[in-house]
Amino acid sequence: MVTHLNWIALSTLTRREVMRFFRIWTQTLLPSPVSMVLYFVIFGGLIGPRIGVIDGYRYIEYIAPGLIMMAVINNAYANVVASFFGTKFQRNIEEMYVSPMSSWVIMLGFMIGGVARGCLVGLIVTCVALFFTKLHVHNMAVIFFSVLLTAMLFSLAGLINAIFSKKFDDISIIPTFVLTPLTYLGGVFYSMHMLSPFWQKLSHLNPILYMVNAFRYGMLGVSDVPVEISLIFIGACCVILYFWTWYLLEEGTAMKS
């Protein structure tokens, strides 16, 4: 009986989260493709010919996987942090806590919504990229798991951010001062081999580097980091954030007075 009720709750919450970003698609699905068009035009079309070839691929082909992954990261994170904080702000979270819903149901419902938006926007950006360059498929399994694990990871990260946020300004601090710099320094627009030895070593501390390179390997077959290490790292981070998020929800951190 409990399992049946949790399944109903999970499917309902998931449907609500997915319908939410479809309902406001001009704010959730449209901005990333528009931004990526500018990236492809400026970096790929104008700057790319001056840079030439990286690892055997034209510059615009080399940055395409990174731009797609950047869209997945930003949208998976943004969907959950905004939605969950809105639930807290409207005090709907209290209704979830007094209902038979388990903490893992709440977590999975929001996470699936973030994964769905991240993957959908990633697919849309992929279609946009086809207007500017040809895309390759080196290893479909690596593409699938790198995108799925990355979307899960940043959905959970967005949920943690929303749990600790006390006002609307708090949900923009991490994306602005942490996520954006790490994304731009994560090898989206360059190869690590172009950096000095010191900055190459420092770049290994950037988790987004592993995600971008895993996805780039899946598409192009080239990577600055061994793909096995990248996937293990992303998977380990997902497990850690999963149990941390579950603990925070189970304890009612920053939600129960």
pLDDT, residue 100, reads 79
Give the tokens for residue 51.
């840079």
Work out the average pLDDT over 95-120: 91
pLDDT, residue 99, reads 80
Work out the average pLDDT over 105-120: 96
Tokens 């996470």 correspond to what residue? 111
- Contact criterion met (CB below 8 Å) for 245 and 107: yes
Helix, strand and coil in the chain, % to nearest 5: 80, 0, 20
Q: How far apart (Å, rounded) are the C-alpha atoms in residues 109 and 15?
A: 8
Give the tokens for residue 216.
């780039």
pLDDT, residue 236, reads 97
pLDDT band of residue 2 (cuts 50, 70, 90) is: low
Share of the chain above pLDDT 90, in %: 67
Residue 177 has pLDDT above 60, yes or no: yes
- Contact criterion met (CB below 8 Å) for 54 and 62: yes
- Contact criterion met (CB below 8 Å) for 154 and 79: no
Q: How far apart (Å, rounded) are the C-alpha atoms in residues 91 and 109?
A: 17
Neighbours of 138 (CB within 10 A): 15
In tens, the pLDDT along 185-214 reads: 899 999 988 888 888 888 889 999 999 999
pLDDT band of residue 1 (cuts 50, 70, 90) is: very low
Give the tokens for residue 242.
């999963």
Higher pLDDT, 2 or 240: 240
Q: How far apart (Å, rounded) are the C-alpha atoms in residues 87 and 107?
A: 13
Q: How far apart (Å, rounded) are the C-alpha atoms in residues 191 and 81?
A: 31
In tens, the pLDDT along 88-103 reads: 888 888 888 888 788 8
pTM score: 0.93
Work out the average pLDDT over 225-247: 95
In tens, the pLDDT along 8-58 reads: 889 999 999 999 999 999 999 999 999 999 999 998 888 888 888 898 899
